[in-house]
Structures are given as C-alpha cells and as structure tokens.
Structure 1
Amino acid sequence: MSINSLTNTASTSSTNSSSSSGKANSAADIQNQFLTLLVTQIQAQDPLNPMDNSQMTSQMAQISTVSGLEKLNTTMTSVLQSQVANQSMMATSLVGHQVMVAGNDLTLGSSGDVKGGVVLNNAAAAMQITVSDGNGKVVDTLQVTSPQTGLNNFSWDGTDSNGNRLPAGTYTFSAKAVDNAGASVAATTYGYQNVNAVTWNQGVPLLVTGDGQQHSLGDVVQLS
C-alpha cells in the first residue's frame, strides 16, 4: 500500500460519521498505518534519491486533517445529542401550559377573554379581526390599532357585536390587513393551544396540543 492510497482511504473514512475507534479504518488506525508505512519507506529509500520533503509534508497534513475531521464529527454528535436532550426537557416542561402556534382557533371559557395573534409580512395601516362561531356565523369584529410587521397580539372579550356574552366553546377568527394604498398585506393567524402531551419523532420532541396537532418547539411564537 502506498502513502497516497492510504491517505485516500483516510479521506474516504472521514466522511463516515459512524466510524469508531474499534474499526480498522478509524483515524487512529489510519495514522498508525501511515506512520508504519512512512517509516518503512524511509528505511528502504534510495539514499541517492530520497523522498520529496514537500510530498511527505503534504501527506502528513492530510492525515492530520482526517484526524481533525473525526474529532469534529464526534464533537458535533455530542452537541446534537445534548441539544435534543435540552429540547426534550423544555418540551416536557410545557405540558399543562398554553403555546401560541399557527392556527385560527379561539377557545372561549365561561368567563374572561381569549387571546390570539396575527403575523404580518409587512406593516399595515389597518387590520380587522373577524370572529365566527362553530357554524361559521360572524359574531364579532375587532380593529387592531397600529399593526406592525411581525406578531400582533389581540384580545377578544367573548361577547358578540351587541355586547352579549357568548357561550363557552371553540370559535375561529380570520384577519384582513391593508396598507396605506389599500393593498392587502399577507397575514398568518396564530392561536393559543393547551399542551396536553409530548411525543417524539426520530428523537425530536413534538408538542401535542388540544386540537390534536403536533408542533415542534420552533413552531411556538409565544408561551402563556
């Protein structure tokens, strides 16, 4: 085996993140093979035609790179495992709490108000929230003052347009925003959901909310 073929084997093995110290092609084993071969070649070289120092230095640098890549892979694997563990702990701590995720549900209780949010891609001059009951009938409308780019929170007091308290249950809402020229501004609705449980998909924690949906921690824009 030549030094070049050995370094090529080392480069190939460095791309396999599952390699371990117990395998024959691990970085440590490749280094040992390389050094053994290098010493053998130095001992057997023609004194009148010695090895090229620049070539030897280049090959040694390649072996060093392989070792560094394997250590980097090991470190990154450890970091990812730690991150998943932290996410799992955070996710489980949210059970019993409310999170704001994409959706248009408003769960009204027997008393008090209910909150929601709208994310705008751009600033708007005006934004109207329309609340509907389970049959799709409009029960109330709200005006959001000075809507801005990003998340805009609003609160609905649970009464209809005449000020009458509505029964507890699940309502829905939609948002319409316009700019100063009257053009529509893209809006995404967000509602609060109870976190009932946590499930894992290939090791990644997902929040199971009251509507039966699953959400990653990245889907959450606000906690309550």
Structure 2
Amino acid sequence: MTAVNNDTSSDYLKSLQTATSGKVGDSSTGASTLGKDSFLKLLVTQLQNQNPLDPQDNSQFVAQLAQFSSVESLQNLSTSVDAIGGMYQSSQALQASSLVGRSVIIDGTSTSVDTTKGMTGQAVLPSTSTLTSIKIKDSTGTVVRTLDLGEQKAGTTNFTWDGKNDAGETVPSGNFSFEATGSLDGKNTGLTTYLPATVNSVTMGTAGSPLTLNLANGTNIALTKVQQIGI
C-alpha cells in the first residue's frame, strides 16, 4: 500500500479501523472474515488519504485492482467447493440409504448369524497355506465349530458354516466370532476374514467424515470399509 504523509496518517489509520471494523475475526481463534468488501473499503480509503503531492501511480492502482479480483475469485471458488461438497454428501447419503436391510461383506471378525440358514464367509491368504482352519466362537467365547479347510492357495478362500456345532447340532442364532488361521511357511498365522452383515440403519457423517453403517450385530463401520454388497 502507498505511504501517506504525516498530516493525514492519523485520519488514514482511523479510516482503516472503520473499514475493517467487524470484519476481521478474533485473532485468538485464528479466524478471519476479511473478504472482498473489506478489501475494497481499504483500497478506497487509501485513495482518499493518499499524498496529493505523490499520488499512487497507475501501475500500483492496477496491481491492487488485480489483488481485489483475486480475493473475489478465491471467495467465489470457496463457495462453489462448499456447494459441491454438500451435493456429494447428499448423494452419498441417498446411495447408502438403499443398503438398509441388505447384506454387505465387510472386513471383520464377528457377525450376527441366523443359524437356521447358515452363512458364507471368506479368508484371505497372502501365500499358500498347508493347514487352514476357521474356529467359530459364540458370544461367550466358546468354540462351537472348527472348519478344516486343508491346504489352500494364496488368494481369497470361501468357507461355509451350516449353523451346526461339532456334534452336528444346530446352535441358537446370535453373534459369533470367526478366527481364521493358516500355516504359512511353517508358521501358524492369523488370517483376515470377510464376513456378511445386515445393515440396520445409516448414520450421516459430519464434514470430512464418512457415512456409518449400523449393523445387525450392534457394531458399526464406515461405508468405505464395505468390500462387497449382497442382495
């Protein structure tokens, strides 16, 4: 900004205070609402209080007009981005609502199972496993069934549980945990499991956070954690 002479400096400072009054936020919070309107007031105040013997030349005036244009453009861009973000979140919420009542495949170790129907899950093997098994535990942590999958190649392996225990009896429906292990290079290693789950409801995410799916087993996961959507 162009300097002013001593005779007008006091008036100039008062004018600047008036121009920015109520526009600049509390510095303790780091917030500021100094926008294009305040910038224009500052520019006009400068022109009104410039030294008449040494006025601002054209190049300086054009440069400040360019700055004003940049401030306005950035403000408009910010408004547009916020609008796009709001539309994206609304679209995501609409899509997620269609998942209510449907089955999804998630990365997890427990799920709710209707034992009269059974269930199908997946185990992920980073390399070939010579001995692969799935231990199924009830809500008390008791092992009700052990599935022996034998040797499995690297990749995703499907497993099916018919809802029965090792004695061949159908166990009551409820929440069950699944512990998959494999012998990889001679070492007994825990494996990642993908399990089916039913979506009961959807919770809207706040700004910057994803939508949350509330599952039938009482847990919830981010929409981004869904591996596959079933029927």
TM score, norm. by length of structure 1:
0.68
Q: Matched residues in 2 for 1:119 and 1:3: separation?
A: 68
Query: What CA deviation, in whole Å up to 9, does each residue of 1:110-159 have, x standing for no partner?
Result: 24x41223456xx22114322234551242314273232xx654333444
Letter in 2 for 1:215: I
* Structure 1 residue 100 corresponds to structure 2 residue 108: no
RMSD: 3.7
Deviation at 1:169, TM superposition (A): 1.6
Q: Could you tell me whether the CA contact under 8 Å between 2:121 and 2:158 is conserved in 1?
A: yes
Query: What CA deviation, in whole Å up to 9, does each residue of 1:91-115 have, x standing for no partner?
Result: 211111012232323614324x412
Letter in 2 for 1:166: T
- Higher Cα Rg: structure 1 or 2? 2
Percent same amino acid at aligned positions? 24
Q: Matched residues in 2 for 1:184 and 1:59: separation?
A: 70
1:146 to 153, 156, 168: 153
Q: Matched residues in 2 for 1:142 and 1:45: separation?
A: 95
1:218 to 198, 206, 224: 224
Query: Mind listing any 5+ residue stretches in structure 1 that lack a counterpart?
Result: 20-24
Query: What CA deviation, in whole Å up to 9, does each residue of 1:60-115 have, x standing for no partner?
Result: 4443332232122212211221122112112211111012232323614324x412
Letter in 2 for 1:145: Q
1:32 to 40, 47, 64: 40
Partner of 2:94: 89
Q: Could you tell me whether the CA contact under 8 Å between 2:133 and 2:146 is conserved in 1?
A: no
Q: Could you tell me whether the CA contact under 8 Å between 1:117 and 1:154 is conserved in 2?
A: yes
Partner of 1:68: 73
Partner of 1:22: none
**Count of aligned pairs between the two proteins:** 201
Structure 2 CA distance for partners of 1:78 and 1:103, relative to 1, 3 Å: farther
Query: What CA deviation, in whole Å up to 9, does each residue of 1:168-214 have, x standing for no partner?
Result: 523331011343x2245563333222111223354764222111222
Q: Matched residues in 1 for 2:157 and 2:53: separation?
A: 76
Query: Mind listing any 5+ residue stretches in structure 2 that lack a counterpart?
Result: 4-12
Partner of 2:9: none
* Structure 1 residue 77 corresponds to structure 2 residue 82: yes
Q: Matched residues in 1 for 2:74 and 2:188: separation?
A: 51
TM score, norm. by length of structure 2:
0.66
Q: Matched residues in 2 for 1:210 and 1:3: separation?
A: 68
* Structure 1 residue 177 corresponds to structure 2 residue 185: no
Q: Matched residues in 1 for 2:138 and 2:54: separation?
A: 92
